[in-house]
């Protein structure tokens, strides 16, 4: 039997950025499809055109399901899977009460492997095929994550979280071991299969200047790698940074002064930015990652999506598992809509879908490989039922166009809406 497969359904993709151009950047076929061979998309178009062009293809007809690229989660902490939705607390107390005790367990390779597998399976069930994750200080946690992803054929990014102060005994490394461990893991995993290593200082409060500088030196040695960290998540965190780095002009300067500001930088949250910080992030072409369920759950604040996009900032979208309260990018899109509403902006459904697919892929510098359904890209895609529950079905039945049909699923959908998940063309859910 041929490995050339034609997947039919409703299809939606973008040839521009709807955050800037509006829904006109979207291309929708009520009866479209993609052709997959050897784990890659070889064509997309209308069903009739693809049937004529590929008569030898095996046809999988998904009916009225919507075919989308797999969701891309640009900022997660897979080790926090088991303690997601822990009650109460603001960021610093939440880390000390829930996060750090859980992360202590990841020096055990067996436990790390168990949680890595559990997290990836939960993500796939919700239609997420790629993510960028913080691991823990333990190299075992990184090995577990990349090994579990390789077993599922997934494109993932991640790295060892580095901390040498303001963390419990047993959860700190040093400037030298952060550099040495990160370099060894980078050499072991970066570019192996579908794995990408990401240099990962947790954030300035848990790293000394010496550690930040050591990781900045490692990044300078491997500029093709991404670097991820946290920035300006909460006001009391910013005050903490000011006390720890009195010589810094602002929070971003603690990274900039140590070689950790650049075009391949990922800065999670970025809610309470100073004008200078916004200017520098734009100037270097860094990416900001919006984590709306986390920002509301922990009480961090309201991300300025419209203002940052209007400036030209690159923005991705993320669950921030487990500070975020859901594994679902659908729920994350809904939260992004709600946060924007509180700032006086109604994000269009096209913008929300773009953020969860191509937008996040762009933030991770992988939009040439995933997030678009473009011919030549890797065949990571999902099918979505736009009437997955009675409440959603009764609303979408009244839809006048695709946006009215898809918006109820964005706002009320969950894993029941995800009817199929393919990774490199192989069915994974």
The CATH number assigned to the domain holding 377 equals 2.30.40.10
Identify whether the C-beta of residue 359 lies closer than 8 Å to the C-beta of residue 315: yes
Q: What is the 3-state secondary structure (H, E, C) of the chain?
A: CCCCEEEEEEEEEECCCHHHHHHHHEEEEEEEEEEEECCEEEEEEEHHHHHHHCCCCEEEEEEEEEEEECEEEEEEEHHHHHHCCCCCCCHHHHHHHHHHHHHHHHHCHHHHHHHHHHHHHHHHHCCEEEEEEECCCCHHHHHHHHHHHHHCCCCEEEECEECCCCCCCCCCCCHHHHHHHHHHHHHHHCCCCCEEEEEEECCHHHCCHHHHHHHHHHHHHCCCCEEEEEECCCHHHHHHHHHHCCCCCCHHHHHHCCCCCCCCEEEEECCCCCHHHHHHHHHHCCEEEECHHHHHHCCCCCCCHHHHHHHCCEEEECCCECCECCCCHHHHHHHHHHHHHHCCCCCCHHHHHHHHHHHHHHHCCCCCCCCCCCCCCECCEEEECCCCCHHHHHHHCCCCCHHHHHHHHHHHCCHHHEEEEEECCEECC
Identify whether the C-beta of residue 35 lies closer than 8 Å to the C-beta of residue 54: yes
Please say which residue of 363, 395, 412 terminates a domain: 363
- Determine the structural domain holding residue 263 and report its residue range: 71-363
Same domain for 356 and 308, yes or no, is yes
Please say which residue of 363, 388, 415 terminates a domain: 363
Same domain for 23 and 149, yes or no, is no
Residue 267 CA, distance from chain mean position: 12
Same domain for 66 and 86, yes or no, is no
pLDDT tens digits in sequence order for the chain, 429 residues long:
358 999 999 999 999 999 999 999 999 999 999 999 999 999 999 999 999 999 999 999 999 999 999 999 999 999 999 999 888 777 788 888 889 999 999 999 999 999 999 999 999 999 999 999 999 999 999 999 999 999 999 999 999 999 999 999 999 999 999 999 999 999 999 999 999 999 999 999 999 999 999 999 999 999 999 999 999 999 999 999 999 999 999 999 999 999 999 999 999 999 999 999 999 999 999 999 999 999 999 899 999 999 999 999 999 999 999 988 999 999 999 999 999 999 999 999 999 999 999 999 999 999 999 999 999 999 999 999 999 999 999 999 999 999 999 999 999 999 999 999 999 999 998
Please say which residue of 345, 363, 381 terminates a domain: 363
Identify whether the C-beta of residue 305 lies closer than 8 Å to the C-beta of residue 290: yes
Same domain for 243 and 220, yes or no, is yes
Same domain for 316 and 411, yes or no, is no
Identify whether the C-beta of residue 34 lies closer than 8 Å to the C-beta of residue 27: no
Same domain for 267 and 294, yes or no, is yes
The CATH number assigned to the domain holding 242 equals 3.20.20.140
Same domain for 233 and 380, yes or no, is no
Same domain for 302 and 352, yes or no, is yes
Same domain for 331 and 379, yes or no, is no
Same domain for 21 and 97, yes or no, is no
Give the count of domains, the chain.
2
How far apart are the C-alpha atoms of 67 and 61, rounded to whole Å?
Answer: 11
Residues facing 46 on adjacent strands: 32
Same domain for 313 and 410, yes or no, is no
Report the predicted TM-score, pTM, of the whole model to 2 decimal places: 0.97
Same domain for 146 and 241, yes or no, is yes
How far apart are the C-alpha atoms of 269 and 279, rounded to whole Å?
Answer: 16
């Amino acid at each position: 039997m041929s490995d050339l497969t034609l997947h039919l359904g409703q299809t939606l993709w973008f040839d521009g950025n709807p955050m800037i151009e509006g829904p006109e950047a979207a291309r929708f076929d009520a009866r479209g499809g993609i052709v997959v061979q050897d784990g890659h998309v070889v064509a997309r178009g209308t069903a009739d055109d693809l049937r004529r062009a590929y008569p030898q293809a095996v046809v999988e007809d998904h009916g009225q399901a919507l075919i989308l690229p797999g969701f891309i989660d640009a900022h997660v902490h897979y080790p926090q899977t088991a303690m997601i939705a822990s009650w109460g607390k603001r960021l610093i107390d939440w880390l000390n009460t829930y996060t750090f005790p859980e992360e202590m367990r990841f020096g055990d390779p067996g436990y790390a492997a168990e949680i890595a597998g559990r997290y990836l399976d939960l993500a796939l069930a919700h239609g997420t095929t790629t993510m960028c994750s913080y691991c823990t200080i333990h190299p075992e946690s990184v090995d577990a994550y990349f090994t579990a992803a390789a077993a599922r054929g997934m494109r993932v990014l991640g790295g060892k979280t580095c901390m040498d102060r303001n963390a419990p005994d047993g959860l700190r490394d040093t400037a030298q071991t952060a550099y040495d461990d990160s370099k060894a893991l980078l050499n072991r995993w970066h570019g192996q299969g579908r794995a990408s290593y990401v240099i990962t200082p947790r954030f300035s409060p848990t790293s000394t200047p010496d550690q930040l500088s050591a990781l900045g030196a490692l990044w300078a040695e491997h500029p093709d790698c991404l670097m991820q960290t946290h920035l300006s998540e909460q006001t009391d965190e910013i005050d903490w940074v000011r006390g720890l780095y009195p010589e810094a002009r602002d929070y971003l300067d603690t990274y900039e002064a140590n070689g950790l500001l650049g075009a391949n930088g990922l800065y999670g949250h970025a809610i309470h930015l100073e004008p200078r910080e916004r200017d520098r992030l734009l100037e270097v072409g860094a990416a900001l990652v919006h984590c709306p369920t986390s920002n509301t759950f922990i009480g961090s604040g309201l991300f300025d999506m419209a203002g940052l996009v209007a400036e030209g900032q690159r923005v991705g979208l993320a669950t921030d598992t487990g500070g975020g309260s859901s594994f679902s990018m659908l729920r994350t899109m809904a939260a992004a809509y709600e946060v924007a509403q509180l700032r006086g902006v109604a994000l269009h459904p096209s913008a929300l879908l773009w953020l969860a697919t191509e937008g996040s892929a762009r933030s991770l510098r992988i939009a040439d490989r995933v997030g678009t359904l473009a011919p030549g890209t890797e065949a990571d895609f999902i099918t979505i039922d736009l009437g997955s529950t009675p409440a959603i079905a009764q609303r979408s039945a009244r839809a006048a166009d695709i946006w009215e049909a898809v918006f109820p699923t964005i706002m009320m959908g969950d894993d029941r809406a995800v009817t199929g998940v393919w990774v490199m063309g192989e069915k994974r859910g």
